[in-house]
């Protein structure tokens, strides 16, 4: 595997330029800059809110300095609350080229688009001169998420992803599973896999927080489509989602934007801290993918029963289809047919090995299906989180 060495020592398997709007008012201009650049490695990201939010800034900074990102163009209207200067300084401080455009200062839509296209061209020239270097499996971060779940998800796709995770962890990669709101009912079982008793308490507390969050706001993570797909209860959905984590020891608990300190298995807590102030913790699967990317995920394994067509603006997404009927309908959007397990044509271990091999191929430059189709979804909303304590990452304390 070969990639690009970044100043902080991390390595990227892609070398993309992000064009980032810092308020919804700059979204249209940013999108046209991406469209008119005519390049497949120029990707659109952004935060729509006018008012500042520490979480949103943290995620944008983490994404713009992700190892798969080589440079950035920031698009500001000019009067929003996002701290564009601080973000630009952080990107520049990471060794990446960055240019900032302010629409109110650059003559409006057409002139800012022209400036933006020129800025992208300059960044392209800079990226073209960057040498490539070898990447070891131990330097990779792999995330997993499930979406469009049905009754087959916990029987085929998720267990196969869990098998792949076990092998990746065993060989030294950092692997992240997430969505504490979809682990309700599994917290005690999950805690038995914690590296320390203190971490076990943190894992249980994160799921209990999710349960309280849903209780206060009056909903859960169980969607109508889940029921239509054969899932009957929140607990059944949780057990299926939990299978994605495999059987490895859990090394730590992360919050969005936290980086795994070394190889191992980590849980990502995506439910906001404090009193519930926001709506759904993640309003779509894309929000979960963005948070995994913010934690450094080079690749995301996306398991689905009912089907999904989304990808990522930064990191490749590998689609794992759990349902053989869904695969027949949506095969052009899928990378792995885990439905073969239900048909008796393969075992979870065999499909897990297939996923593992595809991770290595994608890390070596092979495009995923969503990359080939041009999927670059990105969504970021308001949240709040408190810093993690030492008990959340015991591997950094006890070695």
At 116-167, the pLDDT tens digits run 999 999 999 999 999 999 999 999 999 999 887 787 888 899 999 999 999 9
Exposed (0-12), middle (13-18) or buried (19+): which is 245, by Cβ within 10 Å?
buried
Per-residue pLDDT at 119: 98
Q: Which two tokens stand for residue 3?
A: 């990639």
- One digit per residue, the tens of pLDDT, for the chain of length 399 reads 999 999 999 999 999 999 999 999 999 999 999 999 998 999 999 999 999 999 999 999 999 999 999 999 999 999 999 999 999 999 999 999 999 999 999 999 999 999 999 999 999 999 999 999 999 999 999 999 988 778 788 889 999 999 999 999 999 999 999 989 889 889 999 999 999 999 999 999 999 999 999 889 887 666 666 666 665 666 666 777 899 999 999 999 999 999 999 999 999 999 999 999 888 888 889 999 999 999 999 999 999 998 999 999 899 999 999 999 999 999 999 999 999 999 999 999 999 999 999 999 999 999 999 999 999 999 999 999 999 999 999 965 444
Name the β-bridge partners of 252. Answer: 266
DSSP assignment of 322-334, as one string?
Answer: --HHHHHHHGGG-
In this prediction the pTM is 0.95
The C-alpha angle with vertex 95 and arms to 94 and 100, in degrees rounded to 5, equals 85
Q: Tens of pLDDT along 229-266?
A: 665 666 666 777 899 999 999 999 999 999 999 999 99
Q: Of 231, 348, 154, which Cα lies nearest the Cα of 336? A: 348
C-alpha to C-alpha distance for 242 and 187, rounded to whole angstroms = 10
Q: Give yes or no for a contact between 197 and 177, defined as CB atoms under 8 angstroms apart.
A: no
Q: Of 138, 154, 141, 165, which Cα lies nearest the Cα of 349? A: 165
Q: Give yes or no for a contact between 115 and 76, defined as CB atoms under 8 angstroms apart.
A: no
Per-residue pLDDT at 283: 83
DSSP assignment of 265-322, as one string?
Answer: EEEE--SPSSS--SS-S-SSHHHHHHHHHHTT-SEEEEEESS------SSS-EEEEE-
DSSP assignment of 151-188, as one string?
Answer: TTIIIIIHHHHHHHHHHHHHTT-EEEEE-GGG-TT-HH
User: Reading across the β-sheet that carries 69-76, which strands appear in turn?
Assistant: 42-46, 16-21, 69-76, 98-102
Per-residue pLDDT at 223: 64
C-alpha to C-alpha distance for 346 and 340, rounded to whole angstroms = 6
Q: Which two tokens stand for residue 278?
A: 């926001």
Per-residue pLDDT at 397: 45
The C-alpha angle with vertex 149 and arms to 144 and 154, in degrees rounded to 5, equals 75
Pairing state between β 141-146 and 174-178: parallel
Per-residue pLDDT at 224: 67
Q: Which two tokens stand for residue 40?
A: 């497949």
Pairing state between β 264-268 and 11-12: unpaired
Q: Which two tokens stand for residue 69?
A: 């990102």
What is the three-class DSSP state of 352?
A: helix
Tokens 């990522």 found at: 312
C-alpha to C-alpha distance for 350 and 313, rounded to whole angstroms = 30
Q: Domains of the chain by range and CATH?
A: 2-133 (3.40.50.2300), 137-398 (no CATH)
């Amino acid at each position: 595997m070969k990639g690009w060495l970044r100043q902080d020592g991390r390595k990227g398997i892609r070398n993309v330029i992000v064009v980032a709007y810092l308020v919804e008012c700059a979204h249209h201009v940013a999108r046209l800059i991406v469209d008119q650049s005519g390049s497949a490695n120029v990707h659109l990201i952004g935060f729509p809110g006018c008012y500042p939010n520490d979480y949103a800034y943290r995620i944008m900074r983490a994404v713009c300095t992700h190892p798969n990102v080589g440079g950035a163009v920031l698009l500001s209207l000019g009067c929003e609350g996002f701290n564009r200067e601080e973000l630009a300084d952080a990107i520049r401080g990471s060794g990446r080229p960055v240019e900032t455009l302010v629409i109110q200062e650059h003559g409006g839509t057409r002139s800012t688009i022209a400036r933006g296209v020129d800025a992208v061209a300059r960044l392209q020239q800079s990226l073209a001169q960057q040498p490539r270097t070898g990447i070891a499996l131990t330097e990779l971060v792999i995330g997993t998420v499930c979406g469009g779940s049905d009754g087959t998800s916990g029987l085929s796709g998720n267990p196969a992803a869990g098998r792949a995770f076990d092998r990746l962890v065993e060989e030294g990669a950092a692997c992240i599973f997430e969505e504490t709101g979809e682990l309700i009912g599994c917290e005690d079982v999950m805690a038995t896999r914690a590296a320390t008793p203190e971490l076990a308490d943190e894992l249980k507390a994160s799921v209990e927080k999710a349960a309280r969050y849903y209780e206060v706001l009056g909903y859960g993570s169980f969607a109508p489509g889940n029921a239509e797909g054969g899932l009957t209860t929140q607990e059944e959905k949780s057990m299926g989602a939990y299978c994605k984590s495999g059987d490895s020891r859990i090394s730590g608990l992360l919050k969005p934007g936290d980086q795994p300190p070394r190889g191992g298995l980590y849980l990502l807590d995506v439910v906001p801290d404090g009193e519930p102030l926001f709506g759904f913790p993640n309003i779509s699967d894309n929000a979960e993918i963005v948070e995994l990317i913010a934690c450094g995920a080079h690749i995301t394994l996306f398991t689905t029963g009912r089907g999904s067509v989304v990808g990522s603006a930064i990191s490749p997404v590998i689609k794992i289809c759990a349902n053989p009927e869904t695969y027949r309908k949506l095969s052009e959007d899928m990378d792995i047919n885990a439905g073969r397990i239900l048909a008796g044509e393969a075992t979870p271990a065999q499909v897990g090995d297939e996923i593992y091999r595809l991770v290595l191929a994608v890390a070596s430059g092979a495009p995923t299906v969503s990359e080939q189709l041009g999927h670059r979804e990105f969504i970021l909303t308001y949240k709040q989180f408190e810093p993690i304590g030492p008990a959340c990452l015991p591997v950094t304390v006890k070695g």
